[in-house]
Amino acid sequence: MSTTTATSAAMRAPRRTSRTGLLLAQAWRQTSVGLAALVIVLALGFAFFPTVFTSIDPYVTNTAHRLRPPSVQYWFGTDYLGRDLYTRVVHGAALSLKATVIAVSIGLFAGSLLGLVAGFAGGRTEDVLMRVIDVLLSVPGLLLSLTIMTVLGFGTVNVAIAVGISTIATFARVMRAEVLRVKSNLYVEAAMASGVRWGTNLWRHILPNAAGPVLALAGLEFGSAILSVSSLSFLGFGAPPPAPEWGSLVAEGRDYLATAWWLTAMPGLVVVAVVLSVNRLGHALHRDEAPSH
């Protein structure tokens, strides 16, 4: 009996350990998703309701308080002109996130349209469109954005357009793949064989069933777009000073890294936190939707 009891206890131990690990992993996933959602809500609050989070003017200078480190009075410290860095980060969310929304929208709608036409039409139309998409994919996204910026010029909207154009190819490839998958289903073939108009078939059957993965991709691309917009702003292609775009705030602190680390660290941490939160929430939603597909 003692041998049997010891054997059964030894067999139960790994199960208990694996169950504990599973519970811990599940708790961590729930906690991380909750924190990610909280960060995103705060970022959206910064963008749409900045005066709720700070009542200070982001453009008012106070040279008597220049280069103050983070404290109770100045949460993110002050810059070289004495401006409150936290206030500038809060007000800069509207510029950076507006550009990101425009960029993702351009990539989503233009790329989806190209992929939809290529996958549904097939033949020579598909060949021509996909060769254009291959050319876009062969150029790194940031390099393509910089090339477009040289044509469009400076400004937040132009940055958004450049980043959006650089993401068209990704959306087009995914949409085309989904359209080809949906087209092979029997109900689509039956509708086409029964004489249903191609526009009706496209609108009622193909597009609704192919849009899910593309919309999930848009959520994942949102984080990448924030980085691209911030990178172009960092390089000086965004709104001119003293506009507090996140990328330009990081760039302004480059000359003070040795004496005022917070000028680059605080805006940079905000960008990192928002990007990681968007990616975490996007992966969680994609995982939840995956079984239904």
pLDDT digits (tens, 9 = 90+) for 10-65: 445 445 556 777 766 676 677 888 898 899 999 999 999 999 999 999 999 998 99
CA separation for the pair 190, 195 (Å, rounded)? 9
d(CA 90, CA 136): 35
Q: Please answer whether residues 129 and 111 qualify as being in contact, where contact means their C-beta atoms are separated by less than 8 angstroms.
A: no
Instruction: Give a yes or no: residue 18 inside a domain.
Output: no
242 near 228, Cβ under 8 Å? no
Contact yes or no for 82/66 (Cβ under 8 A): yes
Q: Cα dihedral angle (133, 134, 137, 139), rounded to 10 degrees?
A: -110
Q: What is the mean pLDDT of residues 95-107?
A: 93
51 is a domain residue:
yes
Range of the domain at 138: 47-59+70-292
Task: For residue 5, name the pLDDT band (cuts at 50, 70, 90).
Answer: low
**Within a domain: residue 33?**
no
Asked if residue 140 is part of any domain, the answer here is yes
Q: What is the CATH number of the domain that holds 166?
A: 1.10.3720.10
In the chain, helix, strand, coil percent, each to 5? 80, 0, 20
| Predicted TM-score (pTM) of this structure | 0.82
Instruction: Find residue 84's DSSP bridge partners.
Output: 78
Q: What is the pLDDT of residues 176-220, one digit of tens each?
A: 998 888 887 777 767 666 766 766 677 777 788 888 888 888 888
Domain count, the chain: 1
Does a structural domain hold residue 263? yes
Residue 264 lies in a domain: yes
Residue 291 has a pLDDT of 40
For residue 125, tell me if it sits in a domain: yes
Residue 99 lies in a domain: yes
